[in-house]
Structure 1
Amino acid sequence: MKIGELEEHFGLELNQLYNIDEATALFSLAAENVLALSPTKLLLNKDTTLSFINFQKLLTILNDLKIGKPIQHILGEAHFYGSIFKVNENVLIPRPETEELVDWIINECASNTSGKLLDIGTGSGCIPISLKKYLPQMEISTLDISVAAIDVAQQNAENIGMLITFIQADILNYQSTTKYDVIVSNPPYIRELEKQHMHQNVLAHEPHIALFVSDKKPLIFYDAIADFAKESLDDNGLLFFEINEYLGLETIEMLNAKGFTNIELRKDMQGKDRMVKANPPGPRRGS
């Protein structure tokens, strides 16, 4: 079978789960992994006949996709901010909107010649490792309750060559005497009521502990992290959150109530309220 023919077959076989553009993107990722073809080279090689071994490998990927398994878990890796991260069922698959948060932090901190940054909610390590890669002058630590997630993130830090300090702890009862210049978090923020709108492959294959919060206390982690940041950020420090698109105003109100200043809500590329930046309470000079 030719590459282009198998791509069409992917589209037909996956039409119950994905639209044609999604199926094409999935085939492109599979082809890059199995055939070492970039998207451009894939376009130029659609008439190339597949070897039997590669044909079987791609069919195996297709069969896993048909039962809803995410392509990143099938391949064991995900692309994020210019690096490739190992992922499995113990960590969230890095999302494009989180890349926007990382980009915002890098732009804000590019002129810093030193400083300490804490990421809360390590997961795959995509946030702290990417920040260390582009802000090498900063001392970066990251915290997660999950030992399994930290193990994945440590492997990623080693593979990408970044020195990160890992802390295994629950932020809901964590204390520290360290002062940070930046605290960033992408904590669990999806309410139980939102499950019905989510793709089945997310519900079945990604860790719920990293995704969901109760409907009654949707800001439980933001509230705890904000309290921690009040005590642990330097006077001129910065707090960054990735947030639930439906809870932007509630997040801002919570930060205002705790005395945070210069609060900025930013939309992602899809126009959804997605990120917040704030300064801690106290004498803050400038924007």
Structure 2
Amino acid sequence: MATARPIYQQLSKNITAYPPEEAREMAFMLLEHYFGLRKADVLADKTLPPNRTEPDWFRIIERLNRQEPIQHVIGTTIFCGLEFEVSPDVLIPRPETEDLVRLIMHDFADREEVVRVLDIGTGSGCLAVTLARFLPQSDVTGWDVSEEALAMAQRNADNLKADVTFERQDILNVPASETRRFDCVVSNPPYVTRSEAADMDRNVLDYEPEVALFVDDNDPLIFYKAVANFCTQHLTKDGACYVEINERFGEATRQVFEERGFRHIQVYKDIHGKDRSIRATF
């Protein structure tokens, strides 16, 4: 009977575009995705499921060695314990973005009345869907400029049984007819400057949407200014704004909110000690 370890060893050996440790982690991810085997199962050399459908390993290895993200190869990724569909149409959810969910849950988990949430630049819908699932008292809306992203976000909401309203909207051009107010505004906007692209890996540059990643160097905080401006008119008195930020512009982004009347602004660091998110209230 076929067992897990030989396949794991072959995958680890043949995924050559990454350092050995990363290749081994990818092999574990592939075996879990296709056969439902956890890392402990692989290390214990468990028998493979008898009714398994064998994937085209050669094709998978070929794609990974072109540095196509493994999340695109298997079609999904895990965010806050939930499985989200991803594709080149949306930014792959990152673990550091989970910090925004934790901040919001800390602030609103005990609130009994409805929490009106707006996710600006929803992409895959990871923030909007997760908040709709974990905050049962929430009323969540997700905005994006991309029809393809909105379609994927809706599929993720349907698959995860989350009640979210998705709308095509550009935070840089919000119509005057928009009068709704929100208790929680959250955004992970584009914040990588064009000049930083030279230091980025191919698996990001070649396979993830530019519109979700990059801003011009001459105005790197354009989306934070737009979000903060929007909040001055549309955030409730006791509401809060949460944004993920570029580590290079922590203080500058804090000043954007301060200049627009926010009085309580906290910059949070990620697990690597880098400025990564901001919580701002009036």
Q: TM-score, normalization: structure 2? A: 0.93
Contact 2:35 2:48 in 1 (8 A): no
CA RMSD of aligned residues (A): 1.9
Aligned to 2:213: 211
For 1:137-156, what aligned pairs fall within 5 Å after superposition? Answer: 137-156=137-156
Q: Secondary structure at the match of 1:221?
A: helix
Give the unaligned 5+ runs of structure 1.
Answer: 281-287
Deviation at 1:59, TM superposition (A): 2.9
Contact 1:244 1:274 in 2 (8 A): yes
Percent of aligned pairs sharing the same letter: 37
Aligned to 2:277: 275
The answer as to 2:71 corresponding to 1:69 is: no
The answer as to 2:5 corresponding to 1:4 is: yes
Deviation at 1:9, TM superposition (A): 3.4
CA deviations on 1:5-31 (whole Å, 9 max, x unpaired) are 44333333334x322221111111111
Contact 1:188 1:221 in 2 (8 A): yes
In 2, distance between residues paired with 1:99 and 1:261? 25
Q: Secondary structure at the match of 1:101?
A: helix
Aligned to 1:246: 248
Q: Secondary structure at the match of 2:56?
A: helix
For 1:176-195, what aligned pairs fall within 5 Å after superposition? Answer: 176-195=178-197
In 1, distance between residues paired with 2:38 and 2:30? 10
The AA in structure 2 aligned to 1:172 is L
In 1, distance between residues paired with 2:167 and 2:110? 27
Aligned to 2:15: 14
Query: CA distance change for structure 1 residues 48 and 82 in 2, over 3 Å: closer, same or farther?
Result: closer
Contact 2:124 2:150 in 1 (8 A): yes
The AA in structure 1 aligned to 2:10 is H
**Which stretches of structure 1, 4 residues or more, deviate above 2 A after TM superposition?**
1-15, 46-54, 56-60
In 2, distance between residues paired with 1:24 and 1:164? 37
Contact 1:2 1:50 in 2 (8 A): no
Contact 2:108 2:115 in 1 (8 A): no
For 1:31-110, what aligned pairs fall within 5 Å after superposition? Answer: 31-45=31-45, 54=54, 57-110=56-109
In 1, distance between residues paired with 2:84 and 2:236? 31
Contact 1:242 1:275 in 2 (8 A): yes
Deviation at 1:58, TM superposition (A): 2.8
CA deviations on 1:216-240 (whole Å, 9 max, x unpaired) are 1100111011100110001111000
Aligned to 2:25: 25
Contact 1:193 1:215 in 2 (8 A): yes
Deviation at 1:167, TM superposition (A): 1.1
Aligned to 1:284: none
The AA in structure 1 aligned to 2:79 is F
In 1, distance between residues paired with 2:268 and 2:201? 25
Q: Secondary structure at the match of 1:247?
A: helix
CA deviations on 1:91-121 (whole Å, 9 max, x unpaired) are 1111000112111111111111222010001
CA deviations on 1:118-145 (whole Å, 9 max, x unpaired) are 0001100000100111101011101000
In 1, distance between residues paired with 2:250 and 2:15? 35
Q: TM-score, normalization: structure 1? A: 0.92
Give the unaligned 5+ runs of structure 2.
Answer: none
Deviation at 1:48, TM superposition (A): 6.5
Contact 1:262 1:278 in 2 (8 A): yes
